[in-house]
Structure 1
């Protein structure tokens, strides 16, 4: 028993039998040239996700800063170029942090990417305070320097999450509905200052379906093209009537036109002409904009 235990605990490996020769080809590892495009695609995909998350942060948090500045009486301070630059970097960092944590990136990678948001603006604050550059150069230069900084951080961490993603089912459900969330983010600022869109914007509603249908070649089914052209004719007529009427009547027609198009979106939700995500995005955007315009009409004196 003692000898058996000593043998099992030893580091001496039992030699494996020689492989039996076969005629089948041995699978080879992917060549560096084949792996390089995949790695580049992952890098571009990661940077694209970061850019979308940053834009979402600005769209969502920008109006909140305006409200806070007005309520606290610090609107003028927030409007100063150096403060506005840092506020913008904060908005982008918040959106980027949420996106990276959703992808299970570790906190030290998130911290370095946050530094890529702030450091370019902080570096340009020195020449700005010295009067060597103006406010436009500060904001534009900060964004331009941010791009290589983000690339360096992404390459350093191999632009891949090193931890398994563990997400709550509610978070997963919300992520799957990102088109609806994006549509809501795009209307946040309009809820702060509601207004009625121009009647001509209704031409975008049927036009988008026609352009996407042509690009996807999904207008060739029976009656599909005729249906889309009929929708175009309806919204063109509604637009012309609103332009001719003007005033409060035009406002109500525009609001009705956007709300009615939500029904058109629901009819296309199965993705026959446009992708399902696009229809989902449009139905939320149309309803939200119609609600904003109704609010603007009701809160504005005739």
Structure 2
């Protein structure tokens, strides 16, 4: 009789989904906590006056929160930095649309956040075993 040690498919996808949710929570926790800290010490950036700097600051805050959680979960630096890059990736190509007036600051925030979540999912699917809890 042969036995296998791989988790059932449902459990594997459940771990994957839980990890995705944990990373989103860590991302938002970093964004809110570090954003409040920046404002408290006078380093806050105006969304309306400096949307590019505001977004980059917010992406950095999200990256710090998510990277901290990923390291706690035992991820290496390569997937951690890959996920951090995804926080910046959606907005940078949108900056020219902002500069030319095609998009406003609210549009930048909306589109970049909408694109960020599927990009995170693609990166996680690329490393499925790691994010499903099978590689730790």
TM-score bin, normalised by smaller chain: 0.7 to 0.9
Structure 2, unaligned stretches of length 5 or more?
Answer: none
Cα distance change, pair 161–59 in 1 and its aligned pair in 2 (3 A): farther
2:53 pairs, out of 83, 87, 93, with 83
2:65 equivalent to 1:95: yes
- Specify the alignment match of 1:148 in structure 2: 118
2:103 pairs, out of 103, 119, 133, with 133
Show the 5 A alignment for 1:38-187: 38-69=11-42, 78-79=45-46, 80-158=50-128, 159=131, 160=133, 162-163=135-136
Q: Is the 8 A contact 1:54 1:95 kept in 2?
A: yes
Instruction: Write the distance in 2 (CA, Å) between the matches of 1:94 and 1:161.
Output: 24
The answer to which structure, 1 or 2, has the higher relative contact order (CA under 8 A, 6+ apart) is 2
User: Normalising by the residue count of structure 2, what TM-score does the alignment of the two structures yield?
Assistant: 0.84
Higher mean alpha-carbon deviation, 36-45 vs 50-59, is at 36-45
Paired residue secondary structure (2:41): helix
Q: Is the 8 A contact 1:116 1:150 kept in 2?
A: yes
Residue by residue over 1:133-183, the C-alpha shift from the partner in whole angstroms, topping out at 9 and shown as x without a partner, is 1111100111101001100111112214745xxxxxxxxxxxxxxxxxxxx
Instruction: Write the distance in 1 (CA, Å) between the matches of 2:26 and 2:13.
Output: 20
Quote the offset at 1:41 in angstroms: 1.1
Instruction: Write the distance in 2 (CA, Å) between the matches of 1:123 and 1:149.
Output: 14
Quote the offset at 1:108 in angstroms: 0.3
How many residues align? The count is 130
Instruction: State which structure, 1 or 2, has the greater radius of gyration over its C-alpha atoms.
Output: 1
User: Normalising by the residue count of structure 1, what TM-score does the alignment of the two structures yield?
Assistant: 0.40
Structure 1, unaligned stretches of length 5 or more?
Answer: 1-25, 164-302
Quote the offset at 1:30 in angstroms: 8.3
Paired residue secondary structure (2:102): coil
Q: Is the 8 A contact 1:105 1:162 kept in 2?
A: no
Paired residue secondary structure (2:87): helix
